[in-house]
Amino acid sequence: MSFLIVEITSKGMIFGADKNVTTIYPDGTTHQNKKTEKVLKWPSGKALVGFVGQGQIGGLSTKTWIEKFITDNPTFSSLEQISMKLKDEVEKQRRIDEGTNSAEVLIIHLGGFEKSIGIEIPKIYYITNSYGLDKYTYIDIRKEFKCTEELWKYFPQITTAEDLKKELTKLENNLEPFWFHQGLDLLTFNVFHASLKFAFKNLINNHPDHKLPTSLGEWEKHAKMQILMYGAYFEAFHAANELYVGGGADVVSIEWKSN
């Protein structure tokens, strides 16, 4: 299943993921003996995309399929337009791949910044065929995919980019950048996430070598730490053929340019 973190700060947008790939053998056993990137950046930093779930599309690895999609669509008119196009093409190919078999979950986030009346506006789109979530896993998996912009609905009273930056800064000052988490056993991860934040707050308040992040690069380190932490949990508490999260971490980002 793997794990994906999406964060938005006043400095920019961060996507991070673990590297393990789960292979399912004909006898039903699994193994994680392959690694891959699950977060990618459009040319010239036009957008970020990350995925968890189904590891193949159209006979290719999901990473390779999305890389081809990016190559075929180096430019686009808007983040909404390219997100809807990605949703349509993913759904079309997964229907072919699955045939009459049950649908398998696939979750993709696509985010970036686009100018509106000369001001850079962040947007994060959520593409998935899961229509429900319980405490532990994704449910109601369908053949149909949906595509929705998710960031702004969490800030219904905010209408401008500058006001959003101010609100995000308040969260950052508490070491809590706005996030989306996607992956296996979110309840367990979110408990560890809260514990890790608590630990770093103590370090920032009491240790001279730890300070509140002030740059996008410093926030990337905190995102990477969360992914590595969750991979360590799987390595310590799961069998060798159940390391669904792990293998290191990849982090990519886009700067939120000053207007």
What pLDDT score does 44 carry? Answer: 87
**Cα(13)–Cα(145) distance, rounded to whole angstroms?**
24
Task: Please give the full DSSP string across 152-217, using - where no structure is assigned.
Answer: GGG-TT--SHHHHHHHHHHHHHTT--EEEEEES-HHHHHHHHHHHHHHHHHHHHH-TT-----SHH
Indicate whether 153 pLDDT > 70. yes
176: tokens are 């809590």
Q: pLDDT of 156-205, one tens digit each?
A: 999 999 999 999 999 999 999 999 999 999 999 999 999 999 999 999 99
What pLDDT score does 65 carry? Answer: 98
- Counting the structural domains of the chain, the total is 1
Q: pLDDT of 48-106, one tens digit each?
A: 999 999 999 999 999 999 999 999 999 999 999 999 999 999 999 999 999 999 999 99
- The domain of 173 spans 3-255
Those residues with Cβ within 8 angstroms of residue 17's Cβ, 6 or more apart along the chain or in another chain: 2, 3, 4, 5, 37, 38, 39, 50, 51, 52, 227, 249, 250
User: Higher pLDDT residue, 258 or 41?
Assistant: 41
Number of C-beta neighbours around residue 235 at 10 A: 13
**Strands 30-35 and 20-24, sheet pairing:** antiparallel
99: tokens are 């045939």
**Cα(237)–Cα(104) distance, rounded to whole angstroms?**
26
Q: pLDDT of 27-51, one tens digit each?
A: 767 878 889 999 999 998 999 999 9
Residue 196 and residue 232 in contact, taking contact as beta carbons nearer than 8 Å? no
DSSP state of 75: -
**Once rounded to an integer, what is the mean pLDDT over residues 117-124?**
91
CATH of the domain at 118: 3.60.20.10
Indicate whether 259 pLDDT > 80. no
Q: Can you name the residues that pair with 109 across neighbouring β-strands? A: 50, 126
Those residues with Cβ within 8 angstroms of residue 136's Cβ, 6 or more apart along the chain or in another chain: 185, 186, 187
Number of C-beta neighbours around residue 50 at 10 A: 27
Residue 69 and residue 99 in contact, taking contact as beta carbons nearer than 8 Å? no
